[in-house]
Amino acid sequence: MRNLRLLAFLILCVASNLACADVRNPNPNLTISIIGSDSFNVSAPGVEIPAIFSVRVVDPQGNPIPGLTVEFFTNYSICFAGDPRCVLPPQAMYGHFSDNQSGESVLTDQNGVASAGHTYIGGSVAGTYTVVGGIYYSASAYNAEIMKTGSDPTAFFSINQFAAAPIASIPASGTFGLLLLALAILVATACLKRVF
């Protein structure tokens, strides 16, 4: 059910072009939180921003957990398999880290903090994008030992690339696109009422 709620939240963000900064903590053995800003703006394609994507991880008693692998991704997207046009967008539209990578793995320090270590460079297409910092069960044996379950705590950072288009300009071709958008908004609204 939590995965459905997360999917509904992301669908609502994508459908309404809202900033989607948030955290999800489905694992009872640890908690992730965002340190510093959770939202960043890129003024033009290729512009570097000193974005520091940072998270802190603690155990149920609030003690920092050092040594966990946190994975940061710059190309987080949703694609509906039932849609015949379900093709991931070109990599160039997303921003990337300065080493031209879309992701990196970082270990939490003695304070339980992990930060993406590279400058963020804006992509080529205006819009609102999401950078993810997640602790994944399968990322390392130590992650699996601490987490004990496959419920992955995740932090979502919002990236607004040069004048994101308003909701009225979201492309939805044909009846299928409009129905999918309406369904996504209804499902997301219902699930968000339960979450918040």
Q: In the prediction, which pLDDT does 108 show?
A: 97
Which residues, listed in sequence order, are joined to residue 39 by a DSSP beta bridge? 158
**Which secondary structure element, helix H or strand E, spans residue 7, and what is its range?**
helix 2-16
Q: How confident is the model at residue 149 (pLDDT cuts 50, 70, 90)?
A: confident
Report domain extents, the chain: 19-163
User: Under CATH, which architecture does the 19-163 domain have?
Assistant: Sandwich (2.60)
Confidence class for position 59, pLDDT limits 50, 70, 90 = very high
Whole-structure pTM over 0.85, yes or no?
A: no
Residues in the chain: 196
Task: Average the pLDDT over 172-192 and give the result.
Answer: 53
Q: Which of 12-16, 63-67, 148-152 has the lowest mean pLDDT?
A: 12-16
